[in-house]
Amino acid sequence: MRTVRGRWLQWGVFAVLCLAAFSVFGVQRFPPPEFTETGHQLPSLISIPPRSLLWQYFDVFVLLVVLSLSTWLALKKRSRNGLVWTGIFSILYFGFYRKGCICAIGAIQNIAQGVFDPTYIVPFTALVFGLVPIAFALFFGRTFCAGACPHGALQDLLLIKPINIPNWLEHGLRMLAYIYLGLAVVFAATGGGYIICQYDPFIPIFRLSGDTFMVITGVIFLLVGMFVGRPYCRFFCPYGVLLGMGGSFSKWRVRITPDTCTKCRLCEQSCPFNAINKSSLAEVDASNLGPDKRRLAWLLVLAPLLIAGGIYLGGHTGKTMARKHARVNLAERIHFEESGKVVGTTDASAAYRGTGKPLDELFAEAGKVRDRYVLAGRWAGGWIALVIAGKLVSLAMRRRRPDYEADQMRCVACARCYEYCPQEHLRRQTLYGIPMPLAMAEKAVAPTPATLGKLEPVEPVGTK
């Protein structure tokens, strides 16, 4: 036994020397034995195939069912209860069972990468999850947010005591989502990673694990979400931006009243997401429009300048953003090592040096990546400036609205406002869930546009 051990130790010492000399990993140093005495059979390498593609198609099927169901519940059945249960199903299936992956929010990154990187193959599920809800939004508004999105449903369920956010803060914070979308597309298109997935606050909750930063942001979002309705959807969700843009051209949409708006103002405070536009029929004093018109004109002149500035700044930030890319980061590190600015190596730089490839190859590659970032940064800067300019212009414009209606861009079709509308109670023939007394139901006639015309338009009091 002793001698055997000694022999192997010698081999070990020899191997160390080999390693020091050539630094070669995993070469055939010891010939595999023949097993002449026992005829021992080698065990086979078991490899279990990946999850069947059928399950992917099943996910797509579930998405289509849940999306159609929540559209029907929000627009046709007008059922808040139904949407809550659909949302709970989505949380359980897409959230806890599928661990929040695949999700529509993240899928835009796959699509962005697929468009800009021809070698990348977009998974079928990502394609469907990314595009189908937008197509739905073009016809029905953001019904995806109502019941099919586990992130939205989770925040919706946890909303206990909504507080009102002042308008200026609402408008300002909503800009963040557009910026987030721009950055996410930049990083996905340039191969710098999927930031939506990296910083998703709800993934650690669905997975019941995650790094410290993710867990902390998750907890913060949930706590804030108890008082501020859907903080992620409103202020951060990049997919919500796309759905909102689709939804603003939708054919059918959430209407607070099932038939006629009597401007009773009961729904005014019903939306926890600030998504109801108040009726405004007040005649504008035409003689006093000068300042407003001037402001709009100035903004329209300013918009191109703003966009040009955005493109310029975007190009500069592109260089900084490029450092998130692994290759650029590595090239920078090795450059510092070479010039003596840092001492020692990191795992990554040691690994690159271990491959024996010339450093110039890496530097050239990193330079190309950085150029891509500068270009992408310009686009993103232009986009962000365009959004800001558009927001300013839209705030400077006045729009006459005959009815109280849900904002097509912001409304997530949660169906809360329906229950505040007296016309809805008439339609359902119930009063807060209790069947309406027959006499009352017979008497109550929904006002028609003709009868409404006789009423004086009500100017909302105490509102802006």
Closest CA to 268 of 110, 176, 406, 94: 406
Residue of 95, 182, 229, 246 that binds another protein (CB under 8 A): 246
> Using CB under 8 A, which of the segments 37-45, 61-69, 75-83, 221-229 binds another protein?
37-45
> Using CB under 8 A, which of the segments 221-229, 244-252, 293-301, 433-441 binds another protein?
244-252
Residue of 63, 66, 73, 102 that binds another protein (CB under 8 A): 102
Query: CA-CA distance, 331 to 403, in Å (whole number)?
Result: 60
Q: Which residues pair with 223 in a beta bridge?
A: none
Residue of 123, 309, 367, 460 that binds another protein (CB under 8 A): 123
356 binds another protein (CB under 8 A): no
Closest CA to 449 of 278, 279, 260, 280: 260
Least gap, CB of 430 to another protein (angstroms): 32
454 binds another protein (CB under 8 A): no
Least gap, CB of 288 to another protein (angstroms): 22
Residue of 22, 163, 212, 251 that binds another protein (CB under 8 A): 251
Residue of 71, 86, 110, 274 that binds another protein (CB under 8 A): 110
> Using CB under 8 A, which of the segments 132-140, 168-176, 223-231, 356-364 binds another protein?
132-140
> Using CB under 8 A, which of the segments 155-163, 196-204, 308-316, 365-373 binds another protein?
196-204
Task: Please provide residue 276's backbone torsions phi and psi, each rounded to the nearest 5 degrees.
Answer: -105, 125
Map the footprint of another protein across residues 205-234, applying CB under 8 A. 207-210
Whichever of 275 and 330 has its CB closer to another protein, that residue is: 330
> Using CB under 8 A, which of the segments 102-110, 153-161, 222-230, 430-438 binds another protein?
102-110
Least gap, CB of 149 to another protein (angstroms): 16
Query: CA-CA distance, 420 to 27, in Å (whole number)?
Result: 75
61 binds another protein (CB under 8 A): no
Query: CA-CA distance, 144 to 65, in Å (whole number)?
Result: 11
Residue of 121, 169, 364, 455 that binds another protein (CB under 8 A): 121
User: CA 274 → CA 42, 175, 409, distances in Å?
Assistant: 68, 15, 11
Termini Cα distance of the chain: 92
Residue of 58, 61, 81, 135 that binds another protein (CB under 8 A): 135
Residue of 60, 64, 92, 134 that binds another protein (CB under 8 A): 134
Map the footprint of another protein across residues 280-339, applying CB under 8 A. 326
Closest CA to 175 of 408, 399, 385: 385
Residues found in the chain: 464
Residue of 143, 190, 217, 250 that binds another protein (CB under 8 A): 250
> Using CB under 8 A, which of the segments 166-174, 248-256, 389-397, 425-433 binds another protein?
248-256
Least gap, CB of 331 to another protein (angstroms): 13
Least gap, CB of 298 to another protein (angstroms): 26
Whichever of 123 and 367 has its CB closer to another protein, that residue is: 123
Whichever of 152 and 210 has its CB closer to another protein, that residue is: 210
Least gap, CB of 369 to another protein (angstroms): 13
Least gap, CB of 111 to another protein (angstroms): 7
Q: Which residues pair with 430 in a beta bridge?
A: 435
> Using CB under 8 A, which of the segments 6-14, 87-95, 159-167, 272-280 binds another protein?
6-14
Tell me whether residue 335 is exposed, middle or buried, using C-beta atoms within 10 angstroms of its C-beta: 0 to 12, 13 to 18, 19 or more: middle
Residue count, binding to another protein (CB under 8 A): 78
User: CA 86 → CA 79, 270, 408, distances in Å?
Assistant: 11, 21, 22
**Under a CB-based contact definition with an 8 Å cutoff, are residues 276 and 268 in contact?**
yes
> Using CB under 8 A, which of the segments 98-106, 228-236, 369-377, 425-433 binds another protein?
98-106
Whichever of 82 and 114 has its CB closer to another protein, that residue is: 114
Whichever of 123 and 309 has its CB closer to another protein, that residue is: 123
51 binds another protein (CB under 8 A): yes
**Under a CB-based contact definition with an 8 Å cutoff, are residues 417 and 256 in contact?**
yes
Least gap, CB of 425 to another protein (angstroms): 28
53 binds another protein (CB under 8 A): yes
Whichever of 102 and 276 has its CB closer to another protein, that residue is: 102
